[in-house]
């Protein structure tokens, strides 16, 4: 598993040829292919899939190989697993796969998020806290991915005539919206983007607290100050 996690192709293949069990599990129920997905090791992933490993294999928490590659922003591994028909809407114990791509603002995560959207990832699914993918993207300050999610949401709503979900202002379990999440994390450009797309600035949560009230209770993380 160590060899798979750290990209030691030759060593991993040598161990397998000498009897290493490809279906061995660690304490979290993760098999070697999961560790290869963590490291984005495309060569090893291909090797395991060629040995009959299920592309949607789950660990103890219900997370799949695909969700691991997504969470780490491993674009080549995600692309390979999509070609192998991995489920784009699989859910683990906490979050749907698309949300895991939205939790980071790195360029790789933006690319992964776009790939998922292009392969039918459902933007309106919610996690255990009532967050949707847009909430996660805004909380991480990933403006480009947030914009892609909103465009997908509006297109799908127009096509289906669905009006029961407000893509921009949908609250989580506490009543907080994407504006509140972005503001509380100090992502000024994300807040500006949301407001320019007609997000509500004064929508209160279940405690009657608006984004401004929540923001006033604590400083920006890392001392960041909006211009």
- Exposure letters 6-37 (e unless 16+ CB within 10 A, then b): eebeeebeebbeeeeebeeeeeeebbbbbbbb
Is pLDDT above 80 for 7?
no
The partner residues of 64 in beta bridges, in order of sequence, read: 58
Rounded CA separation 44/112 (Å): 20
For residues 175 and 15, the model is more confident at 175
If one looks up domain 1-87 in CATH, what number appears? 1.25.40.20
State the pLDDT at residue 223: 42
Instruction: Look at residue 77 in the predicted model and tell me its pLDDT.
Output: 94
End-to-end alpha carbon distance in the chain: 47
Q: Quick one: average pLDDT of 98-123?
A: 88
Query: Would you state the pLDDT for residue 5?
Result: 67
Mean of the pLDDT values across residues 74-80? 94
184 pLDDT more than 80: yes
Domain boundaries, the chain: 1-87, 98-227
* Mean of pLDDT over the chain: 85
Res. 2 pLDDT band, cuts 50 70 90:
low
> Do 98-227 and 1-87 have the same topology in CATH?
yes
In this predicted model, which residue has the larger pLDDT, 20 or 44?
44
Question: CATH fold of 98-227, please?
Answer: 1.25.40
pLDDT digits (tens, 9 = 90+) for 113-140: 999 999 999 888 888 889 999 999 999 9
Res. 206 pLDDT band, cuts 50 70 90: very high
């Amino acid at each position: 598993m160590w060899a798979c996690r750290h990209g030691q192709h030759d060593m991993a293949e040598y161990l397998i040829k000498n009897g290493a069990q490809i279906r061995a599990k660690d304490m979290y129920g993760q098999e070697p292919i999961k560790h290869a997905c963590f490291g984005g090791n495309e060569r090893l992933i291909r090797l395991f899939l060629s040995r009959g490993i299920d592309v949607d294999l789950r660990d103890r928490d219900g997370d799949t190989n695909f969700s691991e590659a997504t969470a780490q922003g491993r674009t080549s591994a995600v692309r390979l697993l999509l070609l192998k028909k991995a489920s784009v809407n699989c859910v683990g114990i906490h979050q749907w796969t698309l949300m895991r791509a939205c939790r980071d603002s790195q360029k790789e995560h933006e690319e992964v998020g776009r790939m998922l959207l292009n392969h039918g990832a459902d933007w309106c699914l919610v996690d255990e806290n009532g967050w949707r993918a847009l909430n996660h993207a805004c909380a991480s300050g990933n403006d480009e991915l947030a914009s892609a999610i909103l465009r997908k949401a509006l297109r799908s709503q127009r096509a289906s005539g669905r009006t029961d979900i407000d893509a921009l202002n949908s609250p989580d379990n506490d009543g907080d919206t994407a504006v509140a999440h972005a503001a509380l994390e100090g992502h000024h450009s994300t807040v500006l983007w949301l407001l320019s797309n007609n997000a509500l600035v004064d929508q209160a949560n279940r405690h009657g607290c608006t984004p401004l009230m929540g923001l006033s209770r604590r400083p920006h993380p890392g001392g960041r100050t909006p211009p």
